[in-house]
Amino acid sequence: MVKFLDLQNINAKYGAALKEAASRVIDSGWFLQGEENRNFEAKLSKFTGSKSVISVANGLDALRLILRAYKELGVMSDGDEIIVPANTYIATILAITDNNLKPILVEPDINTYNIDINKIVSAITPRTKAIMIVHLYGQVVWSDELESIAKRYSLKLIEDNAQAIGAEWCGTKTGNLGDAAGFSFYPGKNLGALGDSGAVTTKDEELAGVIRSLANYGSSEKYVFDYCGYNSRMDEMQAAFLSVKIDFLEAETEHRRNIAQYYIDNINNPIITLPTAPSKGHVYHLFVVRCSRRDELQGYLTANGVQTLIHYPIAPHKQRCYRDSELSKLELPITEQIHNEVITLPISPILTLEEVGKVVELINNFK
Ligand SMILES: *Cc1c(COP(=O)(O)O)cnc(C)c1O
């Protein structure tokens, strides 16, 4: 059986160090907002090159907090518009609607699955305040044109970096390209905690201060509350685990890239569309291919012992949670085609080339 994601064995590799980290936290008697958080924030700051890092409870909160902080700073207000790719994971859009902001869905590029930068300008209105880009599946989306659009229309560029930690654009890491970025350390992400956690990175120290306060009930001084905030903190246990695992992230990413290259070099079935990607610009959180007979292909692979997943089966604008909103009336043919045709092949830091070889052989024999 080729598993899609074997979290037990992925973490077993670091078992001794993780157990030592857990013991350290238990023995310290300090479980929130302590040394482990500061240490992990410093490590993530060094890794991404971002000046400020705020560890939070999860990736959705990271994105919610960025938008909420911009509202507190007067940059955005209720009903303002945020441009976002239509084929993202639902959390990106939930962060926008949860803040009473309006998501403006823009179609992706069919080759990269990332927002089509050429379609952004026509989506801008006087109420547009930000572009929330998503480095989907682990592939960076950035260009000089994107930056100049943001500058020309005075828009914030916010990165949903939940899937792309470690990816680069011209030597700059994702999370340090835009004005602010949200990270997720959900267990299945490239840097996965043993539970939920997330982070915000930004160069903007004022924004960072507001986010740190908002994540702590709106307080930066004990029992003094400047905002009606949230409780969204990373616990010390997760920070300690992440500090162990972040040191191995580059090596794990290298392994992901080798697997992806093997798939790209060896899958030669003409009904499969492979991803196209710049070398350092993709960390292959997911290895997504397209096939017009996707469901049949998935059934065949399952029957032959290969687990696959669909990222994602239903587009956000087609979800029940938005059935009463304007989103449900949109027609987005490229997004819908992607949701109908994509299938994600196994990729992970512990998948072996023998296993990948088996998947390739099966796919090449699929008629
Ligand atoms: C995982 C993910 C999130 C949400 O992160 P959580 O930690 O699960 O809340 C947001 N956006 C994208 C693109 C994701 O993949």
User: CB of 91 closer than 6 A to ligand 1?
Assistant: yes
Ligand 1 atom closest to the Cα of residue 91 is 10
Structure confidence at residue 280 (pLDDT): 76
- The residue whose CA is least distant from atom 10 of ligand 1 is 91
Name the pairing type of β-strands 180-184 and 156-160: parallel
Mean pLDDT of the region 336-363:
97
User: CB of 115 closer than 6 A to ligand 1?
Assistant: no
User: CB of 65 closer than 6 A to ligand 1?
Assistant: no
Structure confidence at residue 208 (pLDDT): 98
Question: What is the C-alpha to C-alpha distance for residues 69 and 101, in angstroms, rounded to an integer?
Answer: 13
Domains of the chain: 7-247 (3.40.640.10), 248-364 (3.90.1150.10)
Residues paired with residue 306 on neighbouring β-strands, in sequence order: 2
Question: Mutate which of 55, 137, 160, 232 to test ligand 1's pocket (most atoms within 8 Å of Cβ)?
Answer: 160
Structure confidence at residue 271 (pLDDT): 96
Structure confidence at residue 340 (pLDDT): 96
- 3-state SS, the chain, equals CECCCCHHHHHHCCHHHHHHHHHHHHHHCCCECCHHHHHHHHHHHHHHCCCEEEEECCHHHHHHHHHHHHHHCCCCCCCCEEEEECCCCHHHHHHHHCCCCEEEEECECCCCCCECHHHCHHHCCCCEEEEEEECHHHECCCCHHHHHHHHHCCCEEEEECCCCCCCEECCEECCCCCCEEEEECCCCCCCCCCCCCEEEEECCHHHHHHHHHHCECCCCECCECCCCCCECCCEHHHHHHHHHHHHHHHHHHHHHHHHHHHHHHHCCCCCCECCCCCCCCECCCCEEEECCCHHHHHHHHHHCCECCECCCCCCHHHCHHHCCCHHHHCCCHHHHHHHHHEEEECCCCCCCHHHHHHHHHHHHCCC
Structure confidence at residue 122 (pLDDT): 98
Q: The whole model's pTM is what?
A: 0.98
For residue range 218-264, list pLDDT tens digits in order: 999 999 999 999 999 999 999 999 999 999 999 999 999 999 999 99
For 355, other C-beta atoms within 10 Å of its C-beta total 17
For residue range 134-179, list pLDDT tens digits in order: 999 999 999 999 999 999 999 999 999 999 999 999 999 999 999 9
Mean pLDDT of the region 83-93:
98
Question: What is the C-alpha to C-alpha distance for residues 118 and 107, in angstroms, rounded to an integer?
Answer: 10
User: CB of 184 closer than 6 A to ligand 1?
Assistant: yes
pLDDT band at 296 (very low <50, low <70, confident <90, very high): very high
User: CB of 162 closer than 6 A to ligand 1?
Assistant: yes
Question: What is the C-alpha to C-alpha distance for residues 64 and 78, in angstroms, rounded to an integer?
Answer: 14
Measure CA 96 to chain center: 15
Rounded to the nearest whole angstrom, what is the distance from the C-alpha of residue 59 to the centroid of ligand 1? 5
User: CB of 342 closer than 6 A to ligand 1?
Assistant: no
Ligand 1 atom closest to the Cα of residue 186 is 7
Structure confidence at residue 124 (pLDDT): 98
Rounded to the nearest whole angstrom, what is the distance from the C-alpha of residue 160 to the centroid of ligand 1? 8
State the chain's mean pLDDT as an integer.
Answer: 97
Residue 279: pLDDT over 90: no
Q: Please list, in sequence order, all residues whose beta carbon lies within 8 angstroms of the beta carbon of residue 270, skipping any fewer than 6 positions away.
A: none
Rounded to the nearest whole angstrom, what is the distance from the C-alpha of residue 198 to the centroid of ligand 1? 9
Residues 114 and 131: beta-carbon distance below 8 Å:
no
